[in-house]
Structure 1
Amino acid sequence: MSRGFYTLTSGMLTQQRKIDISSNNVANINTAGYKKEQAVTSNFGNLLINKYKQNGIYEESTELGNVSVIRTIEENNTIHSQGSLEETGNITDFAIMGSGFFAVDSNDDILYTRNGSFNLDNEGYLILSSAGRVQGEYGDIYIGTDKFEALEDGSIRVDGEIIDKIAVYDFLDYNNLQKQGEGMYISEEEPEILEYQRIANKTIERSNVNVTEELSGIMSSQRALETASQALKIYDMVQDMAANQIGKIN
């Protein structure tokens, strides 16, 4: 009977976590460069065995097999596929065509993002609002005026002279990126600066969230959550009867 409680409760927690992840995806549908997240579930027994081995315990054991029906969220998987490009007409908007990330200096921490919805601060530097200054080949990109021209390779030209070039970085393994806010990442891995990047000006990359898929997933998880909740009530009633009524039978 206890196994039923554990199974249903874990199922409810898993479905609620799926709802939370999908809801966050929908909430960021208009966040430029946002990459959707996907819940990765695992059999709890397998997950427990993996953790057991990773903790440095190498004693031999006999495999009992997959007997657990409990599912749990093992991790959130970020889907890094490119979103659609949208022309905005804003001179400080940029979108990377292909792989790679913009780099932003945020209080001496370098953040990586696909969000190219930039602005100029009061000092004339190219910035990502609430994050920091956009990085070029020479560090912080100073433009000083909104009368500039941006070339496809990321070069910034003012009065006919190239003053800097927007840097685009890429990583061998995106799984090493750690989320740092919506659409922002940090990494301990040293990135590679791309030499032949393509950047569209007056354009931003939309999020890669498919609203229809996310809403469908939310409704499916909500139904599963309600079903598990009703079944849990039935289990509770049966257990109550077993404890209070069966014992009275002569």
Structure 2
Amino acid sequence: METAGYVTLTRQSGLMREMEIIAHNMANAATTGFRQQGLVFSEYVKAVHDGDSLSMAAARVKKTSVAQGILTQTGNPLDLAIEGSGYFQVETPNGIRLTRAGAFNVNSVGDIVSSDGNRVLDIGGAPINVPPGEADVKVAADGTVSLGDQLLGQIGIVEPEQGADLKRESGVLFQTDAALAPSETGLVLQGHLEGSNVDAISQLTRMIEVQRAYEMGQKLLDMDHERSQTALQTLIK
């Protein structure tokens, strides 16, 4: 395949990946704690002997938005939202993961768990247990969990070091190899949930732009293919 066709095909592949991410974002516009993602396109420029330089764009890096989602009051004592930066820590079968989805409850043995059944961890990485049958749990802005005068633990609000890569493991769970530190600005709001931070209007606009760019790229590929076919037929004659 000619260089121009290869460059266009690479660009088309990146646009398809971006379209998939946009569709996933829009499908989760109402998912509690969902974080919008996008693609970062990198441009590679290479000198070409006896000719112009070759420029190629590739979509290789996913970027997660850290914008605050809308906070909604629910009144449920174990619905928790983070106002500001930071993430809840939950214990999954694959290790500790981060999330902004705070629709928590208590399991059969009294541990505070996520909607997926993963145990919510305190600031030291241990689960927090609530005595069976107790519903009057209070959670302070610093994550401290108490029942009357009894201190039960402190929900850990952490954030990875600046510039760390967050890898989405599922819809609302993230994994990182970076060091975690207590959030300095994140506050816990009891009886609230944070909605998705997906900007549906901007995502719809971008979807239209990507669709048009893909269609244009497809036309260029078709033209390049026709040109190659014509050249081949000329040589055969």
TM normalised by structure 1 equals: 0.83
Give the drift of 1:7.
2.3
Q: Determine the C-alpha separation between the residues in 2 that align with 1:141 and 1:219.
A: 46
The C-alpha deviation readout for 1:92-145, integer Å capped at 9, x for no partner, is: 110111111111111371111111111211222110122510012462111133
Kindly indicate whether residue 19 of structure 2 is the aligned counterpart of residue 19 of structure 1. yes
Q: Which amino acid aligns with 1:189?
A: A
Tell me, yes or no, if the aligned pair for 2:90 and 2:97 is still in contact at 8 Å.
yes
**Residues 1-250 of structure 1: matches in 2 within 5 Å?**
2-45=2-45, 67-107=53-93, 109-130=95-116, 132-137=118-123, 139-144=126-131, 145-194=134-183, 197-245=186-234, 247-248=236-237
Higher mean alpha-carbon deviation, 215-224 vs 2-11, is at 2-11
Q: Which amino acid aligns with 1:120?
A: V
Structure 2 counterpart of 1:59: none
Unaligned runs of 5+ in 1: 50-61
Q: Determine the C-alpha separation between the residues in 2 that align with 1:220 and 1:108.
A: 38
Taking structure 1 as reference, are residues 105 and 45 closer, same or farther at Cα in structure 2, changes over 3 Å only?
same
Q: Determine the C-alpha separation between the residues in 1 that align with 2:176 and 2:50.
A: 38
The C-alpha deviation readout for 1:58-108, integer Å capped at 9, x for no partner, is: xxxx99998223211121111212212111222211011111111111137
Q: Determine the C-alpha separation between the residues in 2 that align with 1:85 and 1:123.
A: 30
Tell me, yes or no, if the aligned pair for 1:153 and 1:196 is still in contact at 8 Å.
no
Structure 2 counterpart of 1:54: none
Tell me, yes or no, if the aligned pair for 2:161 and 2:179 is still in contact at 8 Å.
no
Q: Which amino acid aligns with 1:127?
A: V
Unaligned runs of 5+ in 2: none
Taking structure 1 as reference, are residues 66 and 207 closer, same or farther at Cα in structure 2, changes over 3 Å only?
farther
Q: Determine the C-alpha separation between the residues in 1 that align with 2:39 and 2:94.
A: 32
Q: Determine the C-alpha separation between the residues in 2 that align with 1:22 and 1:79.
A: 13
Taking structure 1 as reference, are residues 194 and 239 closer, same or farther at Cα in structure 2, changes over 3 Å only?
closer
Taking structure 1 as reference, are residues 152 and 236 closer, same or farther at Cα in structure 2, changes over 3 Å only?
same
Structure 2 counterpart of 1:58: none
Q: Which amino acid aligns with 2:73?
A: E
Q: Determine the C-alpha separation between the residues in 1 that align with 2:30 and 2:188.
A: 20
The percentage of counterpart residues that share the same residue type is: 24
Taking structure 1 as reference, are residues 147 and 65 closer, same or farther at Cα in structure 2, changes over 3 Å only?
farther
Give the drift of 1:247.
4.9
Count of matched residue positions in the alignment of Structure 1 and Structure 2: 234
Tell me, yes or no, if the aligned pair for 1:156 and 1:163 is still in contact at 8 Å.
yes
- Partner SS state of residue 101, structure 2: coil
- Partner SS state of residue 140, structure 1: coil
Taking structure 1 as reference, are residues 218 and 66 closer, same or farther at Cα in structure 2, changes over 3 Å only?
farther
CA RMSD, Structure 1 to Structure 2 (Å): 2.6
